[in-house]
Amino acid sequence: MVKPAGSVFLKLVAFTLLLQWGGANKPNFVIILTDDQDITLGGMTPMQKAQSLIGDMGVTFNNAFVTTPVCCPSRTSIISGLYQHNHRTVNNTEEGNCFGERWREEVEPYAFPTVLNSDGYRTFYAGKYLNMYGYTSEGVTHVPPGWDWWIGLVGNSQYYNYSLSVNGTEVKHGDSEEDYLTDLITSYSLDFLRQSDILSSGFMMVLCPPSAHAPFTPSKKYTDYFRNVTAMKTQNFNLPVGVDKHWLLRMSPSVLPESTLEILDAHYRNRWETLLSVDDLIESVIMELESLGVLDNTYIIYTSDHGFHIGQFAMPWDKRQPYEFDIRIPLLLRGPGVPKGQIISDPVLNIDIAPTVIDIANLSSLVELDGKSFKESLAGQNTTGREFVIEYVGEGSDLTVDEDCPLVLDNKLMYCSVDGSCKCQDSRNNTYSCLRRISAAENILYCQFDDDEAFKEAYDINADPDQLNNLAYQLSADVVSEYESTLQYMSTCAGAACNSPPKQ
């Protein structure tokens, strides 16, 4: 081997040192994304460790929202930084672009993990990805670009009896105690962290436990832990709605019977019990980061893909509605320089996660993003407010809904179950776009439904946090016209323009 000449050799040494020094100073990222975890129904109450290890050691955003309240579209918004009208993933099926061909070609290669990975970050993914992951023709052999370690769950959230793609190879799990998915994610995470080489290159982990999604199965350790807990009785709990709500909510039964309320209570406490395992996951990962000496250089972000309702407006349990319980999410963040124990009211969105991570890592996105970095908010700087659009395309079955539910065959309803008193949770025309505006002067929601009635709903969230009084038909023509033109603009915006709507 020819020795490099002196000066070249010194340059090489200097370059290598610079690389290592640069690597050691790169911040690391750990992102924990839960499934269907609400904030307005007390979804964070069981998570005492997350609150003390992330919230108290960092900031809690109390105005965090998703722009589409259903799994695949929202997860796509998180990873891509784009609104639904730009990523065009409209539901949880392959035809709806949930991990469809277009998704794999137009969304996945430009998502934030590839930006960090090509900068040298070592990356790790474990848990639920997208509802259709593993079901397309490539099956589990598809390892998304941007990941060094890939532990992807096939399909939708499960706790037992599932398959994983471990770096592209299928691994099946049964239902013995050690198969509990959240705990398995913990153990893979620790394996990854114990790789000596990741510390010098900087690392990014995304952990996606199935909690608190159906089938709401707690681990053996936590079964019956919250035995006496019942569903939260918000003001709108099991409240029969009048003519002022869109038609899906007006379907019968107008109130849920006692037998269904018992099921709601069971789901509510089981959801909490599943979250205790996520709390343990957080504690284990943080303890490991600390023992490796990298905790102080690691940003930890905790959030959910959307909220949830359990009995609100006498709907059984689901998401897919534009109300606060479905669109608000928990968002906690700690990291270098982030103040401790502060509540931040700046509105932040699921589409902001990608630009924020890229911004903190001091990198550039490959495409223009609709969301914006909230790095400045971390320092406690207050922005002036925000407006954004909530977009949803209703899912519906062409024929009937559920063989056991006595409903007509042509109404394109979906998610109707006997347990839920055959009250359906979605329909093809439960399609809407809403303007959500939060400023010093206003805190409003204005929705247009794409149904036969062209129904409208509007709420003053400060005066009416439970959204009991629809004001849409009492607003002045000027106000309606301003909301509608802003909504129109926001529903087609792209990139930075989404964050600077024209002043009316």
Ligand X SMILES: *[C@@H]1O[C@H](CO)[C@@H](O)[C@H](O)[C@H]1NC(C)=O
Active site residues: 71
Q: Can you tell me which of 25, 161, 235, 381 binds ligand X, judged by CB under 6 A?
A: 161
Pick 67 or 219: Cβ nearer ligand X: 219
d(CA 468, CA 155): 36
Q: Can you tell me which of 99, 149, 216, 317 binds ligand X, judged by CB under 6 A?
A: 149
Q: Can you tell me which of 38, 108, 148, 279 binds ligand X, judged by CB under 6 A?
A: 148
SS3 content of the chain, % helix, strand, coil (to 5): 35, 20, 50
With b for 16 or more beta-carbon neighbours within 10 A and e for fewer, the 445-456 pattern comes to bbbbbebeeebb
Q: Does 382 bind ligand X (CB under 6 A)?
A: no
- Give the shortest CB-189-to-ligand X separation in angstroms: 11
The pair of structure tokens assigned to 66 is: 């998703």
Pick 90 or 351: Cβ nearer ligand X: 90
Phi and psi based region of residue 421 (left: phi greater than 0; alpha: psi -120 to 50; beta: remaining):
left
Q: Does 90 bind ligand X (CB under 6 A)?
A: yes
Task: Report the candidate in 85, 71, 78, 1 with the shortest Cα–Cα distance to residue 37.
Answer: 71
Q: Does 322 bind ligand X (CB under 6 A)?
A: no
Q: Tell me the window of 77-85, 92-100, 429-437, 477-485 that interacts with ligand X (CB under 6 A).
A: 92-100
- Give the shortest CB-4-to-ligand X separation in angstroms: 30
Pick 161 or 469: Cβ nearer ligand X: 161
Pick 375 or 428: Cβ nearer ligand X: 428
Q: Does 273 bind ligand X (CB under 6 A)?
A: no
Pick 122 or 436: Cβ nearer ligand X: 122
C-beta of residue 412 within 8 angstroms of C-beta of residue 431 = no
Pick 7 or 228: Cβ nearer ligand X: 228
d(CA 52, CA 185): 21
Q: Does 46 bind ligand X (CB under 6 A)?
A: no
Q: Can you tell me which of 28, 37, 76, 91 binds ligand X, judged by CB under 6 A?
A: 91
Q: Can you tell me which of 395, 417, 422, 429 binds ligand X, judged by CB under 6 A?
A: 395
Pick 11 or 172: Cβ nearer ligand X: 172
Q: What is the 3-state secondary structure (H, E, C) of 94-125?
A: CCCCCCCHHHHHHHHHHCHHHHHHHCCCEEEE
CA 124 to chain centre: 18
In the numeric block, the tokens 């099991």 are attached to 238
Integer angstrom CA distances of residue 421 from 24, 117, 254, 263: 56, 48, 10, 10
In the numeric block, the tokens 């409209």 are attached to 90
Q: Tell me the window of 160-168, 293-301, 416-424, 439-447 that interacts with ligand X (CB under 6 A).
A: 160-168
**DSSP sequence for 348-377:** EEGGGHHHHHHHHTT---SS--SS---HHH
Q: For residue 307, how many other CB atoms are within 10 A of its CB?
A: 25
Pick 279 or 395: Cβ nearer ligand X: 395
Q: Which of residues 207-236 bind ligand X (CB under 6 A)?
A: 227-228
Q: Can you tell me which of 6, 95, 293, 478 binds ligand X, judged by CB under 6 A?
A: 95
Q: Which of residues 444-483 bind ligand X (CB under 6 A)?
A: none
Q: Can you tell me which of 62, 136, 167, 400 binds ligand X, judged by CB under 6 A?
A: 167
CA angle 115, 116, 122 (to 5 degrees): 140
With b for 16 or more beta-carbon neighbours within 10 A and e for fewer, the 7-46 pattern comes to eeeeeeeeeeeeeeeebeebbbbbbbbbbbbbbbbebbeb
Binding footprint of ligand X, residue count (CB under 6 A): 16
Helix (H, G, I), strand (E, B) or coil at 138: coil
Q: Can you tell me which of 27, 46, 69, 96 binds ligand X, judged by CB under 6 A?
A: 96
- Give the shortest CB-76-to-ligand X separation in angstroms: 13
Q: Can you tell me which of 138, 170, 175, 296 binds ligand X, judged by CB under 6 A?
A: 175
Q: Tell me the window of 89-97, 101-109, 331-339, 445-453 that interacts with ligand X (CB under 6 A).
A: 89-97
Whether omega for the bond prior to residue 253 falls within 30 degrees of 0, making it cis, is: yes
Q: Can you tell me which of 42, 135, 163, 166 binds ligand X, judged by CB under 6 A?
A: 166
- Which residues contact ligand X by CB under 6 A? 90-91, 93, 95-96, 148-149, 160-161, 166-167, 175, 227-228, 395-396
